[in-house]
A and B are shown apart, each in its own frame.
Chain A
Amino acid sequence: MSNNKSTIDFGFSEVPLDEKVKRVKGVFDSVAGNYDIMNDVMSMGVHRIWKRQTIDLSGVRPGHKVLDLAGGTGDLTKAFAKRVGKTGQVVLADINESMVRVGRDRLINEGISGNVDYSITNAEALAFPDNTFDLCTIAFGLRNVTNKDKALEELYRVLKPGGQLMILEFSKVTNPAFAKLYDFYSFNILPKMGKVIADDEASYQYLAESIRMHPDQETLKQMMLNAGFDKAEYINMTQGIVALHRGWKY
């Protein structure tokens, strides 16, 4: 992607490479407290269906080790922790301390502990040994990573042979008419909702812009293959608003 450039996209703006991490951190520090509420309002609850489909398709089973990268407030971690049981392990990892703290508190309050670990980790330099996880997921996080190619290589490295990577991320809407409606919603309604609910219009403006700058379905699939994955495929959800990419390491 943009490895050889000195700047990188931050929404529709170009910022120095080092600057993006700080700005993304600022966005998520700002929205962490209202993240779950905003997700429900913005997607009208549909993000729960996208995540449920991801969990179901993961095929995870008791005893598995799962990395929930950019795990945020722990939606996926919670479901995976129930499935892998005491013999398995789930690691909720996020570069943003505020998000990990919100996720950890929420899971502990819901009685989920013992088989969940927490890690503040940069996706481009994962602090785990090679061949560690049966399943890695990154839901609505990859578009905020500065060097996506490096992150994909790292995810490939920490997967066990036979393991699966699942990337749930906003993508390119397939229906042109629906795309216009979606654009109107993203750039006119979404930031206003951010203003009303979280008193933070700028962060939600960034979220809308970052979605448009994220690689489309085919590009991301090719990036996964370039990162070393032996097989990659994707599934469009809700007309391509979101795509679930899956990659396997053999």
Chain B
Amino acid sequence: MSADFSRVSIVLAQALEAALNQAMHLDLEEGQALKALPTSVIALQIDPLKTPFYCLLNEQQISVQSHLNGSADASIQGGISDWLALGQDHPNVDVFEFSGDTDLAQRFLKALAAIEIDWEEHLASLTGDLIAFKIGHGVRSYLGLKRRQRDYIEQTIKEYLQFEIEAVPTKSQVQHFNQDVQELSQQLDALEARINQLN
């Protein structure tokens, strides 16, 4: 037997297909932006994975597979962190590389980035409003706590480096230093002018 056969890429393709369709289903606008795209095939290259994933767009749903007969209509390449960042509030789509039908590729990417899921609302349909609110409140509190802890650690490290061991200057110290350098430079200029007058 001699077939090129990557079970991992097939499993990943299946997982990606399930994730995309579920995201469309949960989206506040039910993935309308994706559904509006024409019937086509878009190749997704997720670096450093070597195998591309082919998204088959057919109106109401997306199928994903790791093999394709022929070539895709458009291709999008980006690092795994860039793809994951699409889920954030203001993703940067400029980091991706496009080929083939670039307009189609950009529309696809923007449609993906536009997916917005109201987790609390979907959770409420399973658990009821009160429990969903409590879980949502808990998650928001946890994320807020994490953000405050991160800020606190940043501040502590900054103060240790600047005031305890004085390894790095503070912003005001740098400003004073720049000001001193500027004054010294002006004094030198003045001195140079006087010396020139004496000559």
Contact = CB atoms under 8 A, between A and B. Distances in A.
B56 A83 contact: yes
Interface stretch (A13-21, A101-109, A116-124, A230-238): A230-238
A43 to B, nearest CB: 17
Contacts of B39: 62-63, 85-87
Interface residues of B, number: 24
Nearest to A115: B58
B65 interface: yes
A56 B10 contact: yes
Interface stretch (B1-9, B100-108, B147-155): B1-9
Interface string B32-76: 000000011100000000000010111101010111111000000
Contacts of A55: 65
B69 A62 contact: no
A85 B56 CA distance: 9
Given A61-B41, A61-B68, A83-B63, A52 B10 contact: yes
A64 B63 CA distance: 14
A240 B68 CA distance: 25
| Most chain A beta carbons < 10 A, residue from B10, B14, B63, B67 | B63
A53 interface: yes
Contacts of B70: 59, 61
Given A233-B1, A246-B3, A57 B56 contact: no
Nearest to A82: B63
A175 B59 CA distance: 45
| Most chain B beta carbons < 10 A, residue from A56, A87, A217 | A56
A134 interface: yes
Contact of B5 (A57, A61, A63, A87): A57
B115 interface: no
A113 B13 CA distance: 25
B65 A134 contact: no
A134 B69 CA distance: 10
B67 A62 contact: no
Interface in B1-34: 1-3, 5, 7, 10, 13-14
Contacts of A53: 7, 10
A48 B1 CA distance: 23
Contact of B61 (A56, A60, A64, A82): A82
Interface string B71-108: 00000000000000000000000000000000000000
Contacts of A63: 39
Interface string A17-60: 00000000000000000000000000000000000110111111
A234 B1 contact: yes
A64 B67 CA distance: 14
20 contacts: A52-B10, A53-B7, A53-B10, A56-B10, A56-B14, A56-B67, A58-B67, A58-B69, A59-B65, A62-B39, A64-B69, A82-B61, A83-B63, A85-B39, A85-B56, A85-B59, A217-B1, A233-B2, A234-B1, A234-B3
Shortest 5 CB-CB contacts between residues of A and residues of B: A85-B58, A59-B69, A59-B67, A56-B10, A56-B65
Interface of A: 52-53, 55-64, 79, 82-83, 85-87, 134, 164, 217, 233-236, 246
